[in-house]
Amino acid sequence: MNTQRITTGITILFIGIVLLLSQLNSISFNWVGIFRYWPLFIVLAGIRMLVPKDQQIGQFIAIGATVVILGFLTYIGLSTPKEPLLTQLLKSKTLGVRNTDDPNDKTSYSTEKLTVPLDNKIQSATLNIDLGATSLKNDSSTTSAIFTAYNSSSEYLLGITTRGESSEKLNINLKGKFKDKDFNSKNNNTHIALNPNIVWKLNFDIGAIDANLDLSAYKIELLDIDAGATSLKLKLGQPLATSKIALDAGASSIEIAIPKNAACRITSDNALSSTDYEGDFLKTEGLVKSTNYDTATQKFDFDINGGITSIKIRRY
């Protein structure tokens, strides 16, 4: 009896049956959920090495261990709720989600919708967002307030503080934290809305996120995003005289949509990144710019840095 051939065949048969049933929508199998148990395969390899190959009892032990481990993984794959990979990452303790209370933090946190009231004197505002593991979304603009924010999870708290830089300038700080250390990130979505009549400087300091931000209705003077593992889709409107966009992220997928004729320049140090630029661009090492950049009076300046990143610039 060739034990290795039998155990390998059982493993391949297991994978094939699960894939077939998943394709037929007969089962919902969470492949990501079983990856955390990968050390079991090392245990199985050790068992195969230790048992005597020339004795029937050793062969039965190796085959039995394979069946038991695959049975356990089947139970995990079928019983664990299926979630996107990024959501799984958000729950990982290795991401260092901040949930400790800062004794110097005077912010008042709430699960209610937060609003910065409208003040017609305010012409420009700086928004600083400091969030942990959450999905960041902006669903709409607001003309009845300067800024609003809420989170869809009762387990996540938001707090706002404001400071007037002058009679026409306002500084807004949005912070978030989980109620408990052992949090559940399900339905943890932070929704923001900005007033489109104000010139904005946006500073986002966020953990591992899945962000889909449509900022095309806003006047963006500065956008600075500092994030961890990130899936970011960003839509921008027409630039001001110069709109500066700085992105510094870890292992990320970044897609940026800009108006069809908007001039832009992109600098990046992402040696390991894959890039896809839609439209007419002039490319040199570390620098890409649209053919109309030098003559345009309104333009984007992008500075993109980080880890292994996929970057796509598209037009709309």
Which segment of 51-60, 171-180, 243-252, 270-279 scores lowest on mean pLDDT?
Answer: 270-279
Question: H-type helices in the chain, by residue range?
Answer: 3-23, 31-35, 39-50, 56-79, 85-90
Which segment of 83-92, 100-109, 137-146 scores lowest on mean pLDDT?
Answer: 83-92
Q: Greater confidence, 104 or 126?
A: 126
Tell me what pLDDT residue 178 has.
81
Which residue, 201, 241, 205, 238, is CA-closest to 223?
201
C-alpha span between 262 and 300 (Å, rounded): 8
Tell me what pLDDT residue 91 has.
47
* pTM greater than 0.75: no
pLDDT of 255 above 60: yes
pLDDT of 89 above 60: no
pLDDT of 244 above 90: yes
Strand 124-131 relative to strand 219-226: parallel, antiparallel, unpaired? unpaired
Query: What percent of the chain is predicted at pLDDT more than 70?
Result: 84
With tokens 């037929």, the residue in question is 24
Interval 117-135 mean pLDDT = 89
Report helix, strand or coil for 38: coil
Tell me what pLDDT residue 27 has.
79
Query: What percent of the chain is predicted at pLDDT more than 90?
Result: 34
Interval 135-144 mean pLDDT = 85
Interval 247-257 mean pLDDT = 80
User: What sign does the CA torsion over 263, 273, 191, 208 have?
Assistant: negative
Interval 283-312 mean pLDDT = 85
Report helix, strand or coil for 252: strand
DSSP result, 42-63:
HHHHHHHHHS-TTSHHHHHHHH
Which segment of 80-94, 157-171, 203-217 scores lowest on mean pLDDT?
Answer: 80-94
Using an 8 Å Cβ cutoff, are 184 and 139 in contact?
A: no
